[in-house]
Amino acid sequence: MKHIISVLVENKFGSLNRVAAMFSARGFNLESISIGETEDTEISRMTIVTRGEDQIISQVLKQLNRLVDTIKVTDLTRQPHVERELLLMTLKLSKPVQHEIFELINVFKGKVVDIKQKSITIEVIGSPDKINTTIDIFKPYGIKELARSGAVAIHRGE
């Protein structure tokens, strides 16, 4: 089962490496990892997407907690949370399909961030599932390049 884990870590060099290295050393699956400073500049928030059975996930959470730079570990999977990912994608642009592409961008509530004679770069924000669908739908039009941010997530407010 897919799990989304939020980890507060000391904002120090090597913190990301410690977490990523722990995943590879212990053979845990790591689908995505993203990290950024929080409102407290000494603390970063990491969002980790992983998969595994309950026993594995319980080990993942404990091993994360065991790292000295880790301040707090929360498995958001079964709690109310918001999860988002950013997609930047450059597509081939040609006259015959131009309209279809613009319509689809609207359907996915995307934004055009750059446009040239033969290419268009769009941004789409949504859950990782939505991002997957977006990529699938645009694939036939010719994707030149794409970049995904990996998921970030946070508890829903009270």
Partner 1 sequence: MHSSGQTLNGSEIFFECLRRENVEYIFGYPGGSLLKVYETLYDVEDIQHILVRHEQGATHMAEGYARATGKPGVVLVTSGPGATNTVTGIANAYMDSSPMVVFTGQVPSSLIGNDAFQEADIVGITRPITKHNFLVKDVKELAITIRKAFFLATNGRPGPVLVDMPKDILNASCVFQWPETVDIRGFKPTLKCHINQVQKAAHKIAKAKRPLLYIGGGVISAEASEELRKFAIQQNIPVTMTLQGLGAFPGNHPLSLGMLGMHGTYWANRAVNACDLLIAVGARFDDRVTGKVETFAPQAYKIHNDIDPTNVDKNIKVDLPIVGDAKHFLSSLIEEMPDAFENRESWLAQINQWREECPLTYTSDDNTLKTEFVIDEVSKQTKGNAVVVTDVGQHQMWTSQFYTFINPRSIITSGGLGTMGYGLPAAIGAAFGIKDRPVVLFCGDGGIMMNIQELVTAVHGKVPIKIFLINNSFLGMVRQWQELFHKEKYSFTDLGDSNPDFVKVAEAFGCKALKADNPATAREAIKEALAWNEGPVLVDFRVIKKDMVFPMVPAGGSISDMLLERLNPKTMV
Q: Decide: helix, strand or coil at residue 125.
A: strand
Determine contact, residues 48/32, Cβ cutoff 8 Å.
yes
CB of 116 to partner 1, least distance (A): 38
Count of positions on this chain that bind partner 1 (CB under 8 A): 21
Among 16, 30, 71, 146, interactor with partner 1 by CB under 8 A: 71
Q: Decide: helix, strand or coil at residue 87.
A: strand
Residue 96 exposed, middle or buried by CB count within 10 Å (0-12, 13-18, 19+) = exposed
- Tally Cβ neighbours within 10 Å of residue 5: 20
Between 51 and 70, how does the x/- string for binding to partner 1 read (CB under 8 A)? ----x--xx--xx-xxxxxx
Residue 37 lies near partner 1 (rule: CB under 8 A): no
- Between 73 and 101, CB nearer to partner 1: 73
Residue 137 lies near partner 1 (rule: CB under 8 A): no
Distance of CA 71 to CAs 5, 94, 111, 146, Å? 13, 51, 36, 33
Q: Are strands 43-51 and 152-155 parallel, antiparallel or unpaired?
A: unpaired
CB of 17 to partner 1, least distance (A): 7
Q: How many residues does the chain have?
A: 158
CB of 95 to partner 1, least distance (A): 50
Between 7 and 26, how does the x/- string for binding to partner 1 read (CB under 8 A)? --xx--xx--xx--xx--x-
- Between 3 and 89, CB nearer to partner 1: 3
The residues facing 73 across adjacent strands are 7
Interface with partner 1 by CB under 8 A: which residues?
A: 9-10, 13-14, 17-18, 21-22, 25, 55, 58-59, 62-63, 65-71
